[in-house]
Structure 1
Amino acid sequence: MGIRLEGVLAAATLPLVLTMALFLGPLVQLVLDSPWGLVDGIKLGFDPWFWTLCVSDMRWLRNQVVAPLTEELVFRACMLPMLVPCAGPTTAIFVCPLFFGVAHFHHAIELLRFRQVSVSGIFLSAVFQFSYTAVFGAYTAFIFIRTGHLVGPVLCHSFCNYMGFPAVSAALEHPQRLLIVSCYLLGVVLFLLLFFPATDPFFYGSSPICSLAGGQRAMCS
């Protein structure tokens, strides 16, 4: 289930750094629009009072702690070890996120219940939510299989929940759009270049889930 100490430090840092590279553009945009500035924002992260406020906020706990932990535990740590022996690691990476995407349809049900938008708008929102969560689920499934750790997917999930979907339209209209768009492109390039090196099983010790793959272990090496 990916709960082990061997290689845990690398598992807690390298996948998160890889994900942050992909979000380089949104991160730069966030810093530019921050009322505190970069230095004050970093200082705030070390302020116990700030974290006390976060922990006392139920929405923050749900989005940053409870949802990433429970969803990754169910859809990665519990589901992937059952799929890998049957389908192999590569197929499991793309099948598992389908369940993860369907599990987010409750957002559409809530919109239908309260009639906040039109039916067509709800349908488009559901399709987008399913697509986005399925792609993200494939990414964290890939991390889980390559690293053999649960901590990486959990931290990446929490980070992505905080960042949300990149506001590309806002970036294109930003006063410093050339810098931000350049960072968007640089982030994608860095992500693609580091995708396999940063998840190399060499950094994480033995990956128990790969022992379930039988002869289909290409994704594990």
Structure 2
Amino acid sequence: MSLKEKLATLRLALESDLPSGALTRLRLEAAAFEQPGRREVALRAGNSAPDFELPDDLGSIVGLNKLLQRGPVVLCFYWGDWCGFCRLALAALAEVASEVERLGATMVAIAPQPAHDRRITTADVSFPLLVDAGAAVAKLFGIALTPVSEMDETYAALGRPAGENNATELPIPAVYIVDSSGTIVFSYLDSDFTNRIEPSDILAGLRCLQQGGGKPSVPGLHAKPT
């Protein structure tokens, strides 16, 4: 079953399990990212990726520029493992982690969720899970959204810890492929948190990069202008 199919199954289940209209309200709030002038702030293919240093869930510091010395980097932003859609995405990414490495790239996942609240660890997925306190790096990439206080109970119903509600901005589930020069060569931006990029599409982008460019035929995966 593809990730898309698994997400659709979860979406149907949550529409029944969550309070009436909760999932729709969450998706509508995230859709604020699509408002005129808002989406344009987000970094995308063709932009330079800002350097950052973040701790992983074990406390080790991981820096983007240092990772780029080894080759391309795949940055995957997510809410936290309290979100079922994020858990499915992390599991799917774990399935291709070895292939990402074989293609000469490093993959990391980034979320504002504190390390002590996490149920899924780096050891579970075989790639670093970074702690983006206050969504600081998500803000650098222009993909952070602030949940409104009226939605606290709705986020809590989805699983978000009470201590995080209305206290931490959340990133839209974005994916960036950054080449060794620090340029974003492929980007995936979707404000609907119930959608995620297929891991096979990430591999397609890395193969194009390995082969010297070109634009993969992947819906939603935007390539740097040539």
By the TM > 0.5 criterion, same fold? no
Task: Identify the structure with the greater strand proportion.
Answer: 2
Please report the TM-score for the alignment, with normalisation by the length of structure 1: 0.32
TM-score (norm 2): 0.31
Higher helix share: 1
Indicate the structure (1 or 2) with the bigger Cα radius of gyration: 1
